[in-house]
Amino acid sequence: MRCAYHAAGVCRSCTHLGEPYLDQLAAKDAHARTLLSKVPSAADAVWHEPVASPDEGFRNKAKMVVGGTVEAPTLGILDELGRGVDLQGCGLHEAPLRAALPAVADAISAARLTPYDVPSRRGELKHVLLTLSPDGEIMARFVLRSTEAVPRLRKHLPTLLAAIPGLRVVSANIQPEHKAVLEGPEEIVLTPDDSLRMRVNHLDLHLLPQSFFQTNTAIAQALYAQGAAWVDAAAPRSVWDLYCGVGGFALHVAAPGRDVLGIELSAEAIGSARRTAAEAGLAVRFEAGDATAFALSADAAPDLVIVNPPRRGIGADVASWLERSGVRDVVYSSCNAVSLARDLAAMPNLRVTEARVLDMFPQTAHYEVITRLTRA
């Protein structure tokens, strides 16, 4: 991938840009294998070939910091002095996102949405967050410091919708605090549609504005398919999907006679998951709550547990619970192999039988690794 921003030194987010992509993929695979080889319960794991991604145009999300002025807003990042750096042409984003950004910039100017200035702590618009579905539909979220500008945004919404044919969901997120927080708790949906359909394998996942979904749709599809294959091979009668998000794993492993329960802290993500399950006619239950507290307070354990935690991993409490719970099988999907190795070391009776790296984040050192564990 060639990048004029990187060549000019204005953006260095892609820390491995310039390295041949297959070398990047091999290095990630080697890194994961080396880390897990030091864990006795994972030393004999069968490693499958890593799953490659396109090395550009793979991001289904554009998380753009807004800078500059009302007349000339920048969409991208901030430099070391807090000034806006425009990255509308970033090659990581899928093409429809790049095509949509100029119209978003025009809407900012038309609606007089003053970009937030970090050094002076003044301004209204902090971020623009775009998400693209596999069918070319887009969700756009404007992160504002208050509701003051919402009427102006609403007034110019018809022009924005006309300028971006695939735009389906538009919302204003309210984040009033003067700190580096991407979004706030309040969401004001401005369009009739309030969710984006994310077609993933055989499912249409519903994505509400504050619901999390993986950055790379193609790799997310491969991740869910691999997890579902391992669950089907284990043939459990009961499954818990902890940290289930919008229900990707739970919905993929639904099967007749199988009791599947998803647990997620985000109520909005649970709402998304329930909507998908109802529409697809799948008998999967979803509950909003803390996954750790749920597991530790459970009277009995299921046959199989899926965990897909944040970068910090499942932590000592859940690892200890899994170790002593009697759970027969675990599928652990991780975006941080370091915390994964630590968690695996705390579960010596759950042996890693299979593992696979999936490259969710080309041009960086980050990747996803999924493992299958079976009780020894």
CA torsion, points 297, 298, 302, 306, in degrees to nearest 10? -30
14 is catalytic: no
Cα dihedral 194, 200, 203, 208, rounded to 10, equals -20
Q: Which two tokens stand for residue 184?
A: 């706030």
Contact yes or no for 282/275 (Cβ under 8 A) = no
Q: What are phi and psi of 356, to 5 degrees?
A: -160, 135
Sheet with 350-358: strands ordered across: 46-47, 350-358, 368-375, 329-334, 304-307, 238-242, 259-264, 284-288
User: What SS3 state is found at 28?
Assistant: helix
C-alpha span between 48 and 28 (Å, rounded) = 13
**CA distances for 348 relative to 177, 210, 322, angstroms:** 44, 36, 10
**Strands (DSSP E) along 208-303, which ranges?**
238-242, 259-264, 284-288
Single out the residue of 296, 310, 303, 366 nearest to residue 330, CA to CA. Answer: 303
Strand partners, 357: 369
**H-helix or E-strand containing 63?**
strand 61-68
**Helical (H) or strand (E) element with 374:** strand 368-375
Amino acid at 376: A
Q: Which residues are catalytically annotated?
A: 335
